[in-house]
Structure 1
């Protein structure tokens, strides 16, 4: 570990490091740690976390030695603020992991190390492709399917749901939306059933699954046509539930409600090709907000590209928008941007 002199971080360096997203700081730190130490950290991450940080590591370009050292010094400086009396305590471990990985990545690791609430049977599903999961649970009762999808990340759950017929999709989403937790014993029994297929042991301690937030997150990530079809059927079956889901959903044009600093943070995480595609069907007000938070030259180039772009399939545009929304939600979960009140209408 560097000595105190080398670990000192100037205010300018702090500002520069904090301009790097938590995910990219985690990627730089893992690269700096070396293969063996990085591998030990990755063992404590879930599939989604490994995928996200792995993609961030693969996408890092032109990282200078100075930048890497700055991230390391920033990490060490924050670590040294912890009192030695706290070594081994939950709070110490929480702060250490948050500083090392960023708030968005640390959450899942903390759950595994401190809370022990992720069970192996259900956890194994997160490493499977969506079609395999759908085939595994297809013949189960819709309530069981709803519980399983509630346990998965929203984007993975949306992919699995897309494998089901139109008739069952609506039923499952409504069950997820009205799911008010599940008894630990029932969840453990479900976990044990899955474990018999995957092998392993479990110790289930959490039953906080389902609800409006989970259902709306899954809906947000469905293909546009599928999402509309499911929402129409939910509104017809239960207008109050449908309205609650609709009010809780955050769609692409709602990004206009994000403040300028948040938009700038989001733009640093989004590829220009992806942004160009997503803006093809965006509200004019949102386009102007995006332009305003770019350099003049970048905004002019993007506007020109939008004007000159060839016709594009709406499904491709919607897919790009949903990918950007996923980034926005990750940044929101990490406390780096504020999404505001999803569900408001803009005219």
Structure 2
């Protein structure tokens, strides 16, 4: 790797840029922005802000653009950020939710209510529902965002995971009265307040979304087990899943948009385990200079554990799905929609 390449500051993802931008604003303005985000987004950007320690001048210029004169040479970002984050989140969310979220970001904590399950650590959610009836477990798992649901079921053994996901696949709607009763039970357990009217959840697509976020070995094991029980169901689930190899079927514009959101370090590790078609797709959608630097970095990168490669690929897929949900790219292959 060239000396020039080694001195380059890490490439900023959209999440990094959001964290730097919010830390550059006043607490009131940042809080006003956070009020428009859901728990998943607030937790993600809050964690990014808490993790900032060193911010390069070039990175601030990239984020702030014309405001670099105001920011100055010394940003101070990441220094004493804990107090800033606590005050900002309290203004945005209220003291109860903010305290629990700050604990999750900085220490690791939990909160209350059915809707507030999304603010909890996945392990804590798994512990809450571990001894509940499997149908209750399925409703809770279907209610969570797919990536969090995958982490929750990851804390169960194989037999329970299989049972829960099969129930999620057959779950399409839940009677409002049943959902209200479950919510009230959780409210009493957590001594909090939360209201919900959501009744549509679950189904094969939801199961596929959850499967996408499982560890590769766990995913393969579950698909095989489902196939043995119901081959038609397993085929439907697989048809709705999107895996790393399917990136080769994303159009060039989509790949270019995706690359702007992925850090160089994650991309390098992910490509260590990718086939030649994927690599060629990536190289072709970069500038000649950037492509050469990436290939140099790949050659210079030593052996990488398979688990690290899978984790990096999962991270890229998470970004790709988020962008697809926002309508920024169209995913091809499994999970993609037909265009007319």
TM-score, length-scaled by structure 2: 0.74
Find out whether 1:197 has 2:194 as its counterpart.
no
Matched length: 276
Q: Note the C-alpha offset of 1:268.
A: 1.1
Query: For residues 236 and 302 of structure 2, what CA distance do their matches in structure 1 show?
Result: 38
Q: Name the SS of the counterpart of 1:264 in structure 2.
A: helix
| Matching residue within 155, 159, 177 for 2:147 | 155
Q: Note the C-alpha offset of 1:311.
A: 2.2
Q: Note the C-alpha offset of 1:202.
A: 3.4
Residue 63 of structure 1 aligns with which residue?
Answer: 60
Task: Spell out the pairing of 1:1-347 with structure 2 (5 A cutoff).
Answer: 30-31=22-23, 33-43=25-35, 45-54=37-46, 62-64=59-61, 67=65, 121-342=113-334
Query: For residues 136 and 66 of structure 2, what CA distance do their matches in structure 1 show?
Result: 46
The answer to whether the Cα contact below 8 Å between 1:263 and 1:290 also exists between their aligned partners in 2 is yes
The answer to whether the Cα contact below 8 Å between 1:32 and 1:68 also exists between their aligned partners in 2 is no
Q: Note the C-alpha offset of 1:40.
A: 3.9
The answer to whether the Cα contact below 8 Å between 1:170 and 1:230 also exists between their aligned partners in 2 is yes
Q: Note the C-alpha offset of 1:187.
A: 0.7
Structure 1's unaligned 5+ residue stretches are: 1-19, 71-119
Q: Note the C-alpha offset of 1:242.
A: 0.4
Q: Note the C-alpha offset of 1:292.
A: 0.6
Q: Note the C-alpha offset of 1:52.
A: 2.8
Q: Note the C-alpha offset of 1:69.
A: 6.2
Q: Note the C-alpha offset of 1:214.
A: 1.4
Q: CA RMSD in A?
A: 2.6
Q: Note the C-alpha offset of 1:24.
A: 7.1
Q: Note the C-alpha offset of 1:68.
A: 6.3
Q: Note the C-alpha offset of 1:295.
A: 1.7
Q: Note the C-alpha offset of 1:306.
A: 2.4
